[in-house]
Structures are given as structure tokens and as C-alpha cells.
């Protein structure tokens, strides 16, 4: 077998990344309903958001028979010590074994080989692969030596990957992969990639930006052929990430640059139907995608703050519905604003289930009514930043430090 034909062995329960167009790992945007929506529209694989090893260690794996999900939960580290007073468990990670288990890649944030293995063992039996985040440039990741900070400590990064390959792959029969960014020069990037593909991983994703580059800066693709070539020599699949906006564009880029697959990030956050092939009709109007997303959120009783955040990404900002959704306080209000009466009964049930008191929530104007403006709703503010208070705790649950409010839009709409 020639170097060009060489391929690492894919474990029995693992997946081959070649020929795949996948949902990138994104903070807030990679929760279960978003992943299920991506698969609904044709994504081949989905990455969950970075979950820090420390936040997963100590969780309890539970089968949620009501939702047909597997939940990883834990009691809060600080709370009432009185055993007579029940403490509400925090949901750290939720997955749907039937709908996504065989296509879900769990991305771990870590800076220590032993902790990485300890955390990965908890979830490895329920996913199709473990991916190490070595590309996120944000302080919530790099401050702990994780994410892009690992690019500056290649010995540590390699030791983490080697430990996972040694301890996870034989026992759970899934592959290990890594996601990185470009280094300062092509020579440094090549040297790092050569070290990484020698650790036993099955896949490497390159985000075509350096650590210091912002999402608005154009992705740098000149090094892709070199990186893909190094991966091919080792038999490791190479995926690209950065400014990929549709399945058709992804397919062209795969051919043009010789990579094995591609990730779609920000564009999929705004309209997940970008995964749908042109032959099947291509992208759908935003309202259709939003309705499918809401159905999944209601079906899985998704945390309200996360649902609201994604809706404010999916609904065009110039529309009147956008401001009303950004001020909404419940699933019932959202379905009313969007004119989706078929979802109202379930919305009410979910509101009660997750503890939303509809009677105390500000009222919103139903879709189609003209004239009066809802002063109560507008007083709550139409800025998407207002949604942060409703879902704030979940970032800390994942081991992520909160980001100052003015930075929300710029900092959170990123692939990690």
C-alpha cells in the first residue's frame, strides 16, 4: 500500500471522517436539538460543544426514559448541606442514543492526560468518537491551558492524545481525533501536524485561522494542501473548518484542496438546512427551519435559555418577530409570536415541566396583529444579550468561565 493509499484502522464502533460534511463544535449552538436538526437536514456527523473534563468527572449517567435520552448530571458543588432538602441536579451533557449516538463526536476540553481519560471513559460508550479541543482561542478555554493554549505545549497535547488512544480506543472501540488552528508559519504548522498524526488518532480538523484571528477575518486556505498531504501520508483523515457555508461549497473545497471532509459552523447556526443537498431542495426558508428546531426543543424539553439563544440567531434581525422573540419568556410566547398554534399545547406542557410560570411572564403580541406595541415585552429589552441571564449557569456547568455581556455576540458565535 502506498503512502497515498494508507489509512489508519477505524475501530469497530468508530466512524471514518472521510467524505463527511459535519456540524462544527460550537458553544451554545451544539446542544442536542441543534445536533438533531443538523442530522435532519443531512449532516453526516455532529460535534457537541466543548465539555471540560473537570465538569464531566463526578457526573452520574442516567437513562431518561421520558425523553429517550442519556443524561449526565451532577449535584451542585455549593449548596444546602441539609440532606432533607433536595438539591436540583445540573445537566452537564445530554445525548439521544438512537437519533445521534452513532454520529456524535464528543469534544473534550482538557489540559491533562489522566483527567482526559477519566472524563472520556464516562461518555465513550455512548458516542462515536472523542475529539480533543486544541483550537478554541477564548479565555474560558485557554486560561486553563486547554483549547488553543495546547498549540503552544505540543508535548502535552501529544501526551493527551496518546493517553486517549491507549486507554479509550481498545476498551470502547472508538477513534480519537483533534481540532487545531494554524500556527504562525506554515513550517510550524507542518511540524505540529506531523507530531499529531503520529499519536494514533484517526482524524484531524484544521480551522483555517490562527489563534489571534477573529471570526470576521477571512479563513486562510493556502496551507490546506500541505496539511492534507501530511495527514494522508499517515493515513489520518483531514477535515477543514472556516468560512464553509453550504454542502455544495464544502464539496467543492474538498475537491480543490484535497481534504477529506469539511465542517460548517456559523452558517449552520443561522440556518441549519445548509447541510441539505441541492438535489434535495437545498436550504429552506428560516421559518421552516425554526419550526423544525422548535419541534425538537419541545420534544426533548430543551433548556429555555439555550432555545431562545438559538432562535435569536436563526430569525433575521430586521424582522419584528426577532425583537419579540428576544423578549419572550416562554415556549408558549414563542409559538404565539411565530404563529404556530399547532405547537401551543406541547409548548404549555413543556413550560410547566421546566418550571416556567406563564401567568407571570410578560405578554407578547401575537403574529399578525397590527397597531399596539407590547410595551411590557419591549421594556424587557430586545437585545439578544438579554437572554444570557436565563442560560448563564450552563456555561459554568461545563467548566466554562462566563464572558462579560458586551462581548457576547462576538465571542460566542464561534466554532471551537
pLDDT, tens digit, 9 for 90 and up, residues 130-175: 999 999 998 888 989 999 999 999 999 999 999 999 999 999 999 9
238 and 304, same structural domain? no
pLDDT at position 293 is 98
Both 290 and 165 in a single domain? Answer: no
The verdict on residue 12 lying in a domain is no
Nearest to 206 by CA among 190, 76, 388: 190
Looking at the fold, whether 275 and 156 belong to one and the same domain comes out as: yes
Looking at the fold, whether 355 and 242 belong to one and the same domain comes out as no
Let me know whether 304 and 267 are in one domain: no
The DSSP element (H or E) to which 120 belongs, if any, is helix 113-123
* Cα distances (angstroms) measured from residue 199 to each of 117, 188, 401: 15, 18, 30
Structural domain including 219 reads 20-280
355 and 332 in a common domain: yes
3-state secondary structure of 87: coil
Pair 245, 135 in one domain: yes
pLDDT higher at 202 or 374: 202
Q: In b/e form, how buried is each residue of 382-407, taking b as 16+ CB within 10 angstroms?
A: bebebbbebbeebbebbbbeebeeee
pLDDT digits (tens, 9 = 90+) for 41-91: 999 999 999 999 999 999 999 999 999 999 999 987 665 555 544 567 899
Q: Quick check: is 56 in a domain?
A: yes
User: Do both 80 and 140 map to the same domain?
Assistant: yes
Same domain membership, residue 31 and residue 149: yes
User: Distance (Å, rounded) from C-alpha 389 to C-alpha 361?
Assistant: 15
Q: Are residues 301 and 347 in the same domain?
A: yes
15 lies in some domain: no
User: What is the per-residue pLDDT for 143?
Assistant: 84
Which of 257, 280, 303 corresponds to the end of one domain?
Answer: 280
Average of pLDDT values for 193-197? 98
Q: Left if phi > 0, otherwise alpha if psi is -120 to 50, otherwise beta: which for 84? A: alpha
Distance CA 269, CA 33 (A): 12
Q: 97: how many CB neighbours lie within 10 A of its CB?
A: 15
> Do 305 and 401 lie in a common domain?
yes
Number of domains in the chain: 2
Among 136, 231, 238, 326, the one annotated catalytic: 136
- Residue 312 appears among annotated catalytic residues: no
Residue range 220-267, pLDDT digits in tens: 999 999 999 999 999 999 999 999 999 999 999 999 999 999 999 999
Query: Measuring CA to CA, how many Å separate 8 from each of 3, 11, 14, 203, 236?
Result: 11, 9, 12, 9, 6
What are 369-400's pLDDT values in tens digits? 443 333 323 222 334 434 434 444 444 454 54
- Domain stop point among 280, 315, 339: 280
Q: Is the pLDDT of residue 366 over 60?
A: no
Q: Does 51 share its domain with 90? A: yes
Q: Say which CATH number the domain at 24 has.
A: 3.20.20.70
E strands along 98-200, which residues?
Answer: 104-109, 129-134, 175-182
Last residue of a domain, one of 238, 253, 280: 280
Core vs surface per residue 56-95: b (16+ CB within 10 A) or e = beebeeeeeeeeebbbbbbeeeeeeeeeeeeeeebbbbbb
Question: Which pTM was predicted?
Answer: 0.86
Q: Report the relative pairing of strands 60-64 and 69-74 from DSSP bridges.
A: antiparallel
Amino acid at each position: 500500500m502506498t503512502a497515498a493509499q494508507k489509512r489508519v484502522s477505524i475501530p469497530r464502533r468508530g466512524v471514518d471522517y472521510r467524505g463527511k460534511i459535519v456540524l462544527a463544535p460550537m458553544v451554545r449552538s451544539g446542544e442536542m436539538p441543534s445536533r438533531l436538526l443538523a442530522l435532519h437536514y443531512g449532516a453526516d456527523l455532529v460535534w457537541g460543544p466543548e465539555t471540560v473534563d473537570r465538569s464531566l468527572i463526578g457526573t452520574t449517567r442516567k437513562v431518561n426514559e421520558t425523553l429517550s435520552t442519556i443524561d449526565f448530571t451532577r449535584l451542585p458543588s455549593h449548596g444546602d448541606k441539609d440532606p432533607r432538602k433536595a438539591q436540583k441536579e445540573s445537566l452537564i451533557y445530554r445525548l439521544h442514543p438512537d437519533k445521534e449516538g452513532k454520529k456524535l463526536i464528543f469534544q473534550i476540553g482538557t489540559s491533562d492526560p489522566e483527567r482526559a481519560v477519566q472524563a472520556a471513559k464516562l461518555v465513550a460508550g455512548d458516542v462515536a468518537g472523542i475529539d480533543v479541543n486544541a483550537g478554541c482561542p477564548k479565555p474560558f478555554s485557554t486560561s486553563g491551558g486547554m483549547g488553543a493554549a495546547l498549540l503552544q505545549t505540543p508535548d502535552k497535547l501529544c501526551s493527551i492524545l496518546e493517553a486517549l488512544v491507549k486507554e479509550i480506543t481498545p476498551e470502547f472501540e472508538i477513534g480519537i481525533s483533534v481540532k487545531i488552528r494554524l500556527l504562525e508559519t506554515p513550517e510550524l504548522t507542518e511540524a505540529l501536524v506531523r507530531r499529531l498524526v503520529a499519536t494514533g488518532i484517526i482524524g484531524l480538523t484544521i480551522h483555517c485561522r490562527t489563534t489571534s484571528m477573529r471570526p470576521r477575518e477571512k479563513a486562510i486556505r493556502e496551507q490546506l494542501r500541505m496539511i492534507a498531504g501530511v495527514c494522508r501520508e499517515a493515513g489520518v483523515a483531514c477535515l477543514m473548518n472556516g468560512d464553509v457555508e453550504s454542502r455544495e461549497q464544502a464539496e467543492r473545497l474538498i475537491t480543490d484542496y484535497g481534504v477529506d471532509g469539511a465542517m460548517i459552523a456559523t452558517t449552520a447556526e443561522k440556518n441549519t438546512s445548509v447541510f441539505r443537498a441541492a438535489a434535495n431542495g437545498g436550504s429552506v426558508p428560516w421559518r421552516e427551519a425554526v419550526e423544525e428546531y422548535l419541534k425538537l426543543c419541545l420534544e426533548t424539553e430543551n433548556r429555555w435559555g439555550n432555545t431562545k439563544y438559538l432562535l435569536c440567531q436563526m430569525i433575521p434581525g430586521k424582522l419584528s418577530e426577532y425583537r419579540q422573540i428576544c423578549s419572550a419568556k416562554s415556549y408558549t410566547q414563542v409559538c404565539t409570536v411565530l404563529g404556530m398554534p399547532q405547537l401551543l399545547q406541547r409548548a404549555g406542557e413543556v413550560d410547566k415541566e421546566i418550571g416556567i410560570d406563564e401567568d407571570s411572564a410578560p405578554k407578547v403580541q401575537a403574529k399578525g396583529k397590527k397597531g399596539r406595541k407590547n410595551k411590557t415585552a419591549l421594556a424587557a429589552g430586545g437585545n439578544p444579550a438579554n437572554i444570557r441571564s436565563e442560560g448563564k449557569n450552563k456555561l459554568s456547568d461545563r467548566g466554562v468561565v462566563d464572558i462579560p455581556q458586551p462581548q457576547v455576540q462576538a465571542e460566542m458565535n464561534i466554532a471551537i
